[in-house]
Amino acid sequence: MPTAMEELLTILEQNRDKNFVQRIMKPDISPVLMNYAGPDTWGTHLMAYISDGGKFKVYPEIIQGQNGELKRLGRKEAIDYALKNNEFIQFDTEDKARWFGENYKRIWGGEYNK
């Protein structure tokens, strides 16, 4: 049975074509969005998920624009962006989607260095 880190890495590797996944995998060279929710706050992805036809799609509410800078989108705008640009990861269950959204930052926490 794979460890949580192995499972996380498998999911990320299977979705490495997505911009937000690339930013998760390379935290040392990825930008952060300062003060996105007030003074002294920073964000990188701000993951959320939706139910869509019996599947669950995890997507970031902080996206990287064409200029390379990060931008926080509103919930509806982020969903529309994710669906239009294939910037989501699909899961079969809500528990798996929630687990991913709660654990993807383990990469940022230094538990994995690529």
pLDDT of residue 78: 97
**pLDDT score, position 114:** 43
* Amino acid type, 24: I
CB 113 within 8 A of CB 6: no
66: region left, alpha or beta (phi > 0 left; psi from -120 to 50 alpha): alpha
Report the pLDDT value the prediction gives residue 37, as an integer from 0 to 100. 77
- pLDDT reported for residue 3: 85
Specify the pLDDT at position 110.
55
What does each of the 114 residues of the chain score in pLDDT, given as a tens digit?
A: 878 888 999 999 999 999 999 998 888 888 888 887 778 888 889 999 999 999 999 999 999 999 999 999 999 999 999 999 999 999 999 999 999 998 888 766 655 544
Q: Which helix (H) or strand (E) holds 10?
A: helix 4-14
Question: How many residues does this entry show for the chain?
Answer: 114
CB atoms closer than 10 angstroms to residue 90: 15
Residues 64 and 72: their CA atoms lie apart, in Å, by 9
Q: Name the nearest CA neighbour of 81 among 57, 56, 53.
A: 57
pLDDT at 113: 45
Hey, where are the domains in the chain?
Answer: 4-111
Give the C-alpha separation, 47 to 62, whole Å. Answer: 8
